[in-house]
């Protein structure tokens, strides 16, 4: 992946704070993503995640080390999947699709929240200075990483969330077969990432999502700047 190679070449660990900010932002994004998967499943009748302690904002319950590294390096990655027993859903196919969709939707909302809060932090930094610069950096990383996580997981490649949504639209006989072979999709996904096939659509769609969030937040910045600066 070209982006990964460039990032590694330029990487400097001169500032421990910068590294900690990136890791903290990554942990927040994956924690929100996986917790919302579990909440959606619980609301639709499957309490598996709840019983296994995955309805938690403790990031240690959700971390997949490789996925976290990918989040920090190339701005998209994954977490340890929330356990789901689709047999407990009142409507198994719809329940699985909505549970899968809850993760990316939560990251879209988190992206918007981070961009809006960053606007507030910018105004406060201009007025008061100081540690608000770290808050700005943190929220910027949260927005970028959360947008990347949302877009990445919506691709219809097993085991990503998008595949579960697409599979739910298929007839039952095809759905069952595809779900049985879902685990092999990880090999395809890793190959596509290694070859850089997904880089262009991922960066393009992530940029569009960030631009839309910025468009929503811009009026707030103008309002706050007029009142406080």
Q: How far is CA 62 from the centre of its chain?
A: 12
Assigned domain for 160 exists: yes
Q: What is the mean pLDDT of the chain?
A: 84
Q: How far is CA 84 from the centre of its chain?
A: 19
What the block records as the tokens of 195 is 């070859």
Query: Which DSSP helix (H) or strand (E) runs through 92?
Result: helix 92-128
Report d(CA 92, CA 136) in Å as an integer.
Answer: 42
What the block records as the tokens of 138 is 């943190």
Q: Dump pLDDT digits (tens) for 99-147.
A: 999 999 999 999 999 999 999 898 888 888 778 888 999 999 999 999 9
Residue 35 has pLDDT above 90, yes or no: yes
Assigned domain for 5 exists: no
- What is the separation, in whole angstroms, between the first and last Cα of the chain? 43
- Number of structural domains the chain divides into: 1
Report d(CA 85, CA 96) in Å as an integer.
Answer: 9
Assigned domain for 1 exists: no
Report d(CA 4, CA 10) in Å as an integer.
Answer: 10
Furthest-apart CA pair in the chain: how many Å? 62
Residue 41 has pLDDT above 90, yes or no: yes
* Prediction pTM value: 0.85
Active-site positions read 34
What the block records as the tokens of 187 is 């090999």
Cα torsion angle, 37, 43, 49, 55, sign: positive
Question: Per-residue confidence at 148, pLDDT binned at 50, 70, 90?
Answer: very high
Residue 228 has pLDDT above 70, yes or no: no
Question: Per-residue confidence at 13, pLDDT binned at 50, 70, 90?
Answer: very low
Residue 185 has pLDDT above 90, yes or no: no
User: Angle formed by the axes of helices 92-128 and 132-153, to 10°?
Assistant: 160
**By the 8 A CB rule, do 167 and 100 touch?**
no
Residues 6+ apart with CB under 8 A from 192: 157, 198
Domain residues for the domain of 185 are 13-228
Place of tokens 């609301």: 43
Percent share of the chain, pLDDT over 90: 38
**3-state secondary structure at position 155:** coil
């Amino acid at each position: 992946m070209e982006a990964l190679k460039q990032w590694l070449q330029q990487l400097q660990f001169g500032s421990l704070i910068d590294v900690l900010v990136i890791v903290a932002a990554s942990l927040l994004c994956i924690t929100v993503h996986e917790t919302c998967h579990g909440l959606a499943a619980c609301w639709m009748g499957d309490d598996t995640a709840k019983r296994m302690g995955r309805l938690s904002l403790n990031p240690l319950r959700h971390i997949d080390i490789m996925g976290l590294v990918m989040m920090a390096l190339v701005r998209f990655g994954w977490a340890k999947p929330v356990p789901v027993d689709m047999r407990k859903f009142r409507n198994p196919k719809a329940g699985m699709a909505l549970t899968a969709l809850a993760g990316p939707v939560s990251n879209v909302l988190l992206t918007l929240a981070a961009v809006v809060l960053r606007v507030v932090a910018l105004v406060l930094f201009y007025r008061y200075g100081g540690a608000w610069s770290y808050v700005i950096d943190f929220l910027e990383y949260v927005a970028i990483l959360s947008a990347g996580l949302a877009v990445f997981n919506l691709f219809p490649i097993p085991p990503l969330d998008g595949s579960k949504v697409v599979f739910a639209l298929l007839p039952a006989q095809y759905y069952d077969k595809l779900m049985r072979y879902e685990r092999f999709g990880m090999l395809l996904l890793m190959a596509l990432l290694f070859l850089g096939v997904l880089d262009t659509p991922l960066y393009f769609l992530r940029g569009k999502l960030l631009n839309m969030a910025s468009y929503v937040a811009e009026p707030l910045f103008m309002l706050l700047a007029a009142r406080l600066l």
